[in-house]
Chain A
Amino acid sequence: MTEDIDTEPTSNIRLAVNGTLYELEVPDRKLLSDVLRQDLELTGTHVGCEHGVCGACTVQLDGEPVRSCLMFAVTAQGHEITTVEGIGDDPENPSDVQQAFIDCHGLQCGFCTPGFVTTIDAYIDENPNPTAEEAREAVSGNLCRCTGYQNIVSAVCRAAELRAEGASQ
């Protein structure tokens, strides 16, 4: 308890988020979720448990869903990060997954939703035509306390439909 905490170690990092390259000086211990929210003001990424269980903070790292609360920002260098704003940040022009959530009443308070959107956005690339059972399995790593998941499961299937329609146009 005698060591001084005068200055904490920081690093200069280059972070690629939603197609933009940011140069930042951040404390080495600062979580990716906190850097996204506080330094880049991308507050769409939410923190629900800070221990990697709930999935609210899920972002895509090179297209794969990861928990941004379990990762230091400095370790995200060299990767492409996509947050919910990168999936779609225009309320007038939502992405296919976002539109599917609207169509199916897939959200209530909306706090867990960005983590579901980033997860499902990656999932339907992997499985473009999920059954209801597969859709349920796909979202079973994220917690939601409002919806009972039923309409989220429907939204996964609806999003797959919309993506297929989008691809065929």
Chain B
Amino acid sequence: MKLGSPVHLRGFATWSGTFLLMGVICLPGIWVMISAIRPTREILARPPIWWPEDPSWANFARIFGLGDTLVGIPVHTYFWNSLVVSLTSTIVALVIGMAGGYAFARYRFRFKNAWFLGLMLFRAVPGIALSLPLFILWSWFGLIDTPLGLILVYVALNVPFTIWLTDGFFRLVPPSLSEAAQMDGCTPWQAFWKIEFPLARPGIAAAGIFAFLTSWNEFALASHLTRSTDSKTLPVGLMDFTAQFTIDWAGMCAMAVIIIVPTLILTFFVQKHLISGLTLGAMKG
């Protein structure tokens, strides 16, 4: 193809547009990452300094308490709390949500549509509106400042969405596949795991990512329900950098990077399961 031909130009325009748009969307993230590797005085400089003049990992060393200062923050503990809470709540939400999605996709029962609508309406309630009732309930049950308390909240937040998403994917898998597997000698359970689960995997993977990200990033509820290193998660931990009169922007940015990186890695690994379209071809051509 000749350079400068209409098709080439259009491709160029598309890519430039995409790049520009992504630049705008990612700007805050990029700014956080840049700020994580430079000192506070550079972050606050007027006029702004666009590119770090002396990039270093000092901020990271500092928040881990390795630097020459004593401003250590229990990042390990927060990270561990976040990991435990997010992974557990994701797995539990997936198991419950998948079972629910399967039931909605395959079985007929009374008030099915009302149930489904109800679940979706729960999603419409702003999470922060729940914080006070939750706080009171959890304090009765002694769940304040425990990982279990957070896990329960996140499971409840994620189950409706997981049901909604997996329901759609299970609907795409024809019921006759499970029946064929049962004729072939499978128990219904085997038929599910060997046939229907692999075919609905893109949906389940997507639901998993969403559930994990929700739990991992959630701040509002966690900030009310946690108070110590026993259960504080990374987003809540970020607030440790605000003191009465100052905010440690550099440390906060370094910690933000620590929060972002695992989600990027997870998304990178799970995305290959998102490839859809496998169900095509089971049926007639």
Q: Determine if chain A interacts with chain B.
A: no
Residues of B within 8 A of A (CB): none
Residues of A within 8 A of B (CB): none
